[in-house]
Structure 1
């Protein structure tokens, strides 16, 4: 794996490359890690959604990262902005890489990492472990493989125990319905202003309906939007976002628009946004 980037600092003996990212943050990327590789080439691999996080959060806010993978969103929230993060990643190898990325950024006082899944009940479940960014809870009709892993699953409400995030990101490859069912108290807390949620049809493998998720979020006072980072405005949607895998669920537009407008510029690939 080769990157033509002057920001790439050094190659590790393990085969990983340390890449210097935004405002002094860095991450370790290995061959096959598609999300981190896109961060190198594009600056931000989920451009508008990541800038929404960067423009919304402030130092001292709480961010919850459900399905953190190796930590792109956690690093932006805690490494760039200075927010506190509570991050969940179930797959052991991926969790180790998340931990390594937190450590090289010295985020120990700002980040709490949990090696577990998030669901409707405390339980244990089987996860795939060889599908990189798309590892997921094994569905009933999927054949179990030797490298699948049994992982504890916990209710987010129990882990958070009354803490009040400003933003949550949920990327659980179709298991959103169950993750939300275990987070009803947190979702009902008015301090929570935004949820970045991946909705790409993966819930069908479990028999879940994304329209039911949208109705649930609407009942909690959220509406769907996309973000224009260049003009710093939220653009209301009808239903989920069709141009991105993620949908923004937002409430308290006035609060969010003030935050977005007043945020310091972020330099991404030499462009100040």
Structure 2
């Protein structure tokens, strides 16, 4: 894998790859890896050979460009990188801007920062005709916006064939994980 920067979360990536291999994710039909909060695309690029497809969501404009460059460096289709924030509503959100591919950029409530397009995961899935019987592996790393992502994907998480969800959690109440 080639990147313009160091590879974060190496151990987590290796664990997720091993899960996909042990569950024959690439040979069982259509397995899609959803990388929500993709940053530079390390997870997506690492999962493409053990899944059938990847979709990387990275809302920050600069970081999204870096992610697309990393996809191109690895001979992957850059259109698989979506410059969208996943939320519990459709519209826009304001995103902090600490520069570069900072891992601390996050959604903010104030009118400050960068305005980015937001969509629910449920709408994205329906609009792109994702089949319920596909297999899905989901990684969520959204710096404190987990609740909104989960709410916006309630139908997806309860009605689709989810194989695994891996996420970094900031102040998430457990009841949001149990529908």
TM-score by length of 2: 0.83
| 1:168 match: secondary structure | strand
Name which of structure 1's ranges 62-71 and 82-91 shifts more when overlaid on structure 2. 82-91
Per-residue CA distance 1:3-32 (angstroms, 9 max, x = gap): xxxxxxxxxxxxxxxxxxxxxx21112xxx
Determine which structure has greater relative contact order: mean sequence separation of CA pairs < 8 Å that are 6+ residues apart, divided by chain length.
2
User: What pairs with 1:9-158 in structure 2 (closer than 5 Å)?
Assistant: 25-29=1-5, 36=6, 39=7, 45-57=8-20, 58-59=25-26, 60-78=30-48, 80-108=49-77, 112-130=80-98, 132-140=102-110, 144=112, 148-158=113-123
What is the RMSD computed on CA atoms of the aligned residues?
2.1
What's the offset of the Cα at 1:125? 1.3
What's the offset of the Cα at 1:47? 4.1
What's the offset of the Cα at 1:70? 0.7
Q: Could you list the structure 1 runs, at least 4 aligned residues long, displaced by more than 4 angstroms after superposition.
A: none
Q: 1:64, 1:165 within 8 Å by CA — same for their partners in 2?
A: no
Q: Assess, with a 3 A threshold, how the Cα gap between structure 1 residues 169 and 159 changes in structure 2: closer, same or farther.
A: same
In 2: Cα distance, 1:190 partner to 1:120 partner: 18
In 2: Cα distance, 1:127 partner to 1:85 partner: 24
Matching residue of 1:182: 152
TM-score by length of 1: 0.56
Q: 1:121, 1:154 within 8 Å by CA — same for their partners in 2?
A: yes
In 1: Cα distance, 2:150 partner to 2:170 partner: 16
User: What pairs with 1:185-224 in structure 2 (closer than 5 Å)?
Assistant: 185-201=155-171, 210-211=172-173, 214-219=174-179
* Residue correspondences, number: 165
The gaps in structure 2 that reach 5 residues or longer are none
The gaps in structure 1 that reach 5 residues or longer are 1-24, 30-35, 40-44, 202-209, 220-273
| 2:106 match: secondary structure | coil
What's the offset of the Cα at 1:53? 1.4
Greater Rg by CA: 1
Matching residue of 1:160: 125
Per-residue CA distance 1:67-126 (angstroms, 9 max, x = gap): 101111111111x425311111111100000000001111119x6211110101111111
